[in-house]
């Protein structure tokens, strides 16, 4: 039964129709029978996989794992064609989910949330949208994503460029044709690394502007093995349990304790096996101490550097493409297919823009110092205002009108990465300070959606209206997440994990690094203890009317 009270139009407003928003809607509407309105800026479902249509876009966690686990029939019925599905296939999957659970009828597309304001008296959120409408809801759930607001690059002049400008994070639906064109790609993170080999095939000339070389390692994609899939499907529940009990949310089980405890030969054999197996095995299924111990990290970093030099024929290009000066995996490790080989074409060059940054985009190309690289197309693969960007963009204001931007002026503050003190009834799906982007995301999303919707159900069953973490619980969580981060090598590197890719953004670790199993156990303990660290209460207006 719907629990909408007189001052709210609906029980819940959800933003986003990606993996998070779709499952949230299904859970609220079909399992809890709550009135729910989803607002999505895009014209259809898919989130990341709706916007990022650049050539080569695909997942880097095997699709049998990078998919929903909440519905046994769905996971049995759906057939993936490749080990790591491409963007069109993942989008088709999410469209199928929307059809299968009849989700679109409760989603308002092509509409952006631009204000989310808490009303202390009625204990409701007022959600304003860019079509001039507003809706009042008891709860607001953000499924706005971690990587959905593209970064505005530091250099200016983009509007002056007379050619075409393309953004990996908002790629045209009709695609792009590079045949015979001079193309600049700016950025060599995971998106650039996926797109470059495809652009290189068609372009007459491709210039890659690279600030920091990456430790990219083979994806190892290919057609999916039907026997392996049959085996997984016969044991899907156990496979998903094993995934959830793994640091990164994948059912790997070959990790060894320490890279420093074995001989160089044995280490080499382990690295070779993981390199050949592909995917995140090298990162997360080799040695446990590579994220924690610089000497252990050096062994794997040296290994990858050697492999890059083997693959890039021109020693000058190889030197430019070889990462130095930071530890492997302290930036999210990109997985690649034919990336380094693309630079063996004479038509592909790489320009180091660390020592001499890009000054500006001119009418005809990219100016670096006194040289302008004349091009027809510029591809911006410059990343995202990650984790906090999508939340800040919604103008969220909590108790007493407190802006989230003010509360987080020195970095995100949350409890469990899912709720914020002074922002009652606001749930952040895979929010900052949760495992989020260091966890297979569909599973991370399901865990958070389950937590949020269970909490709402708990309130409803107990005649309560408001849930809010205490200031103390939030402080303790902040201390814990920072202490764990400081035990790793991550804080030393400039990455979006640290907010360091956006000029002026406070430097703070955006992820909980204790691993998914510990995190999940903590959340379960919190719930078992009656939502410890949270204050649960009736609405202010109800309290006032009872008292008067
Ligand atoms: P999103 O998919 O980002 O969806 C959020 C939606 O909210 C968007 O559609 C957006 O339009 C909408 N929105 C945001 N703000 C507003 C607003 N104010 N008003 C209205 N609508 C709004 N993760 C992995 O685990 N494995 C991978 O292999 C992987 N590959 C990735 C590849 C790329 C190219 C990118 C960019 C990310 C990848 N990720 C990967 C992370 C990926 O974002 C998550 O896996 C997952 O898709 C996130 O789903 P979501 O629903 O939380 O957010
Ligand atoms: P990213 O990792 O942040 O990479 C952005 C790139 O642009 C970096 O090389 C960065 O250099 C460069 N850059 C930014 N500003 C620049 C400037 N002013 N001048 C020159 N270079 C500049 O972003 P992304 O590649 O879009 O990936 C973001 C995340 O999305 C990934 O980490 C991953 O989580 C996810 N993703 C996953 C996949 C996948 O394989 N499934 C694919 C794409 C994305 P610096 O490093 O020096 O900042």
Residue 346 has a CB neighbour count (10 Å cut-off) of: 7
Sign for the CA dihedral angle at 135, 141, 143, 147 comes to positive
**Averaged pLDDT for residues 204-209:** 98
| Cα 373 to ligand 2 centre (Å) | 21
Tell me: pLDDT of 122 over 50: yes
3-state secondary structure of 200: helix
Same domain, 358 and 243: yes
Domain boundary among 335, 350, 380: 380
Position 2 scores a pLDDT of 44
What ranges make up the beta strands (E) of 238-393?
335-336, 348-352, 358-361, 365-368, 371-374, 377-380
For ligand 2, atom 11, which residue shows the shortest CA distance?
A: 211
Tell me: pLDDT of 3 over 70: no
Residue in the block written with tokens 């009656």: 530
Same domain, 192 and 69: no
| Cα 146 to ligand 1 centre (Å) | 6
Q: Is residue 1 part of a domain?
A: no
Q: Is residue 114 part of a domain?
A: yes
| Cα 411 to ligand 1 centre (Å) | 21
Q: Is 192 in the pocket of ligand 2 (CB under 6 A)?
A: yes
Which residues, 6 or more positions from 54, have their beta carbon under 8 angstroms from its beta carbon?
Answer: 87, 166, 168, 171, 191, 194, 195, 379, 381
Which residues, 6 or more positions from 165, have their beta carbon under 8 angstroms from its beta carbon?
Answer: 158, 377, 378, 380
| Cα 250 to ligand 2 centre (Å) | 23
Torsion of CA 479, 480, 486, 491, to 10 degrees: -70
Q: How confident is the model at residue 160 (pLDDT cuts 50, 70, 90)?
A: very high
Ligand nearest to the CA of 189: 2
Residue in the block written with tokens 């390692």: 217
**Averaged pLDDT for residues 38-51:** 98
Q: Is 393 in the pocket of ligand 1 (CB under 6 A)?
A: yes
For ligand 1, atom 53, which residue shows the shortest CA distance?
A: 145
Which residues, 6 or more positions from 528, have their beta carbon under 8 angstroms from its beta carbon?
Answer: none
Tell me: pLDDT of 1 over 70: no
Same domain, 166 and 311: yes
Q: How far apart are CA 130 and CA 110, in angstroms?
A: 9
* Percent share of the chain, pLDDT over 70: 98
* CA-closest candidate to residue 217, choices 298, 333, 105, 314: 333
- Indicate the pairing of strand 358-361 with strand 348-352: unpaired
For ligand 1, atom 28, which residue shows the shortest CA distance?
A: 59
Q: Is residue 3 part of a domain?
A: no
Q: Is residue 411 part of a domain?
A: yes
**Averaged pLDDT for residues 158-167:** 97
Q: Is residue 347 part of a domain?
A: yes
Q: Is residue 278 part of a domain?
A: yes
> Which of 13, 15, 16 should be mutated for ligand 1, with most atoms under 8 A from CB?
16
Q: Is 191 in the pocket of ligand 2 (CB under 6 A)?
A: yes
Q: How confident is the model at residue 463 (pLDDT cuts 50, 70, 90)?
A: very high
* CA-closest candidate to residue 20, choices 459, 415, 512, 443: 443
Q: Is 445 in the pocket of ligand 1 (CB under 6 A)?
A: yes
Same domain, 329 and 215: yes
Q: How confident is the model at residue 5 (pLDDT cuts 50, 70, 90)?
A: low
For ligand 2, atom 3, which residue shows the shortest CA distance?
A: 383
Task: Look up residue 502 and give its two tokens.
Answer: 């956006």
Q: How far apart are CA 260 and CA 258, in angstroms?
A: 5
Which residues, 6 or more positions from 462, have their beta carbon under 8 angstroms from its beta carbon?
Answer: 536
> Which of 27, 104, 441 should be mutated for ligand 1, with most atoms under 8 A from CB?
441
> Which of 187, 278, 325, 380 should be mutated for ligand 2, with most atoms under 8 A from CB?
187
Domain boundary among 326, 350, 380: 380
**Averaged pLDDT for residues 80-97:** 98
Tell me: pLDDT of 208 over 50: yes
For ligand 2, atom 15, which residue shows the shortest CA distance?
A: 382
Bridge partners for 118 per DSSP: 125
Task: Look up residue 221 and give its two tokens.
Answer: 């994609």
Residue in the block written with tokens 């509407």: 29
Same domain, 308 and 367: yes
For ligand 1, atom 27, which residue shows the shortest CA distance?
A: 59
Q: How far apart are CA 189 and CA 187, in angstroms?
A: 6
Position 85 scores a pLDDT of 98
User: Is the Cβ–Cβ distance between 235 and 229 less than 8 Å?
Assistant: no
Q: How far apart are CA 7 and CA 465, in angstroms?
A: 12
Tell me: pLDDT of 375 over 60: yes
Tell me: pLDDT of 14 over 50: yes
Ligand nearest to the CA of 444: 1
Long-range contacts of range 162-167, CB-CB < 8 Å, 24 or more positions apart? 162/363, 162/364, 163/364, 163/365, 163/375, 163/376, 163/377, 163/378, 164/376, 164/377, 164/378, 165/377, 165/378, 165/380, 166/54, 166/377, 166/378, 166/379, 166/380, 167/379, 167/380
Q: Is 57 in the pocket of ligand 1 (CB under 6 A)?
A: yes
For the domain that residue 24 is a member of, what is the CATH number? 3.50.50.60
| Cα 548 to ligand 1 centre (Å) | 47
Same domain, 453 and 474: yes
For ligand 2, atom 37, which residue shows the shortest CA distance?
A: 190
Reported as a single tens digit per residue, the pLDDT across 417-458 is 999 999 999 999 999 999 999 999 999 999 999 999 999 999
User: Is the Cβ–Cβ distance between 192 and 381 less than 8 Å?
Assistant: yes
Reported as a single tens digit per residue, the pLDDT across 66-83 is 999 999 999 999 999 999
Same domain, 322 and 351: yes
| Cα 168 to ligand 2 centre (Å) | 10
Same domain, 47 and 17: yes
Torsion of CA 450, 101, 108, 448, to 10 degrees: 10
Position 539 scores a pLDDT of 81
Residue 75 has a CB neighbour count (10 Å cut-off) of: 18
**Averaged pLDDT for residues 222-244:** 97
Q: Is residue 2 part of a domain?
A: no
Same domain, 333 and 420: no
For ligand 2, atom 31, which residue shows the shortest CA distance?
A: 190
Lowest-pLDDT choice from 93-107, 473-487, 529-543: 529-543
Residue 166 has a CB neighbour count (10 Å cut-off) of: 19
**Averaged pLDDT for residues 357-364:** 98
Position 544 scores a pLDDT of 75
Q: How far is CA 441 from CA 72, 401, 501, in A?
A: 18, 32, 21
Ligand nearest to the CA of 214: 2
**Averaged pLDDT for residues 227-240:** 97
**This prediction's pTM:** 0.97
Q: What is the count of structural domains for the chain? A: 2
Ligand 1 atom with the smallest distance to the CA of 22 is: 51
Domain boundary among 314, 347, 380: 380
Q: Is residue 82 part of a domain?
A: yes
Phi, psi of 420 (to 5 degrees): -130, 130
For ligand 1, atom 16, which residue shows the shortest CA distance?
A: 144
Position 6 scores a pLDDT of 62
| Cα 191 to ligand 2 centre (Å) | 6
Ligand 2 atom with the smallest distance to the CA of 383 is: 23
Calculate the CA 430 to chain-centre distance: 8
Same domain, 261 and 114: no
Ligand nearest to the CA of 396: 1
Position 548 scores a pLDDT of 53
**Distinct helix (H) and strand (E) counts, the chain:** 18, 20
Bridge partners for 415 per DSSP: 419
Same domain, 136 and 224: no
> Which of 90, 351, 357, 383 should be mutated for ligand 2, with most atoms under 8 A from CB?
383
Same domain, 18 and 65: yes
Tell me: pLDDT of 4 over 60: no
Q: Is 194 in the pocket of ligand 1 (CB under 6 A)?
A: no
Q: Is 66 in the pocket of ligand 1 (CB under 6 A)?
A: yes
Reported as a single tens digit per residue, the pLDDT across 253-291 is 999 999 999 999 999 999 999 999 999 999 999 999 999
Mean pLDDT, the chain, rounded, equals 96
Residue 131 has a CB neighbour count (10 Å cut-off) of: 12
Domain containing residue 332: 158-380
């Amino acid at each position: 039964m719907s629990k909408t009270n007189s001052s709210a139009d609906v029980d819940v407003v959800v933003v986003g129709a990606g993996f998070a928003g779709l499952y949230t809607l299904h859970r609220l509407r079909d399992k809890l029978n709550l009135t729910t309105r989803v607002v999505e800026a895009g014209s259809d479902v898919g989130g990341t996989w709706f916007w990022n249509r650049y050539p080569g876009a695909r997942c880097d966690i095997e699709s049998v794992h990078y998919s929903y686990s909440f519905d046994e029939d769905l996971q049995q019925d759906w057939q993936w064609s490749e080990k790591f599905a491409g963007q069109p296939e993942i989008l088709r999957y999410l469209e199928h989910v929307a059809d299968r659970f009849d989700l679109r009828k409760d989603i308002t597309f092509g509409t952006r949330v631009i204000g989310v304001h808490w009303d202390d008296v009625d204990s409701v959120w007022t959600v304003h949208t860019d079509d001039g409408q507003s809706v009042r809801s008891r709860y607001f759930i953000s499924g706005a994503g971690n990587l959905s607001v593209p970064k505005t690059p530091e250099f200016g002049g983009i509007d002056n460029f007379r050619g075409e400008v393309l953004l990996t994070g908002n790629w045209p639906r009709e695609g792009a044709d590079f045949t015979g064109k001079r193309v600049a790609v700016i950025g060599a993170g995971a998106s650039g690394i996926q797109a470059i080999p495809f652009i290189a095939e068609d372009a007459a000339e491709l210039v890659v502007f690279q600030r920091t070389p990456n430790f990219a390692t083979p994806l190892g994609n290919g057609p999916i093995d039907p026997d392996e899939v049959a085996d997984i499907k016969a044991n899907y529940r156990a496979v998903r349990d094993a995934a959830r009990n793994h640091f990164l949310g994948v059912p790997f089980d070959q990790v060894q304790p320490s890279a420093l405890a074995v001989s160089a030969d044995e280490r080499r054999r382990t690295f070779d096996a993981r390199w050949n197996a592909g995917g995140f095995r090298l990162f997360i299924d080799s040695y446990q101490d590579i994220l924690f111990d610089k000497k252990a990290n050096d062994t794997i970093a040296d290994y990858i550097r050697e492999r890059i030099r083997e693959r890039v024929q021109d020693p000058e290009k190889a030197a430019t493409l070889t990462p130095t000066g930071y530890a492997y995996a302290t930036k999210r490790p990109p997985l690649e297919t034919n990336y380094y080989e693309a630079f063996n074409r004479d038509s592909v060059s790489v320009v180091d823009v660390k020592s001499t940054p890009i000054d500006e985009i001119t009418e005809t190309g990219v100016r670096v110092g006194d040289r302008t690289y004349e091009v027809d197309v510029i591809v911006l693969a410059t990343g995202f205002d990650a984790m906090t960007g999508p939340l800040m963009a919604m103008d969220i204001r909590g108790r007493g009108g407190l802006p989230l931007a003010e509360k987080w002026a020195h970095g995100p503050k949350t409890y469990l990465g899912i709720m914020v003190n002074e922002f009652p009834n606001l749930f952040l799906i895979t929010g900052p300070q949760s495992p989020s982007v260091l966890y297979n995301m569909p599973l991370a999303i399901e865990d958070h959606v389950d937590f949020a919707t269970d909490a709402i159900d708990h309130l409803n069953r107990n005649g309560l209206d408001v849930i809010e973490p205490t200031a103390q619980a939030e402080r303790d969580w902040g201390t814990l997440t920072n202490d764990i981060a400081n035990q790793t090598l991550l804080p030393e590197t400039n990455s979006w994990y640290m907010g360091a890719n956006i000029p002026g953004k406070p430097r703070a670790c955006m992820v909980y690094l204790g691993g998914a199993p510990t995190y999940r156990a903590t959340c379960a303990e919190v719930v078992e203890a009656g939502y410890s660290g949270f204050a649960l209460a009736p609405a202010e207006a109800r309290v006032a009317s009872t008292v008067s």
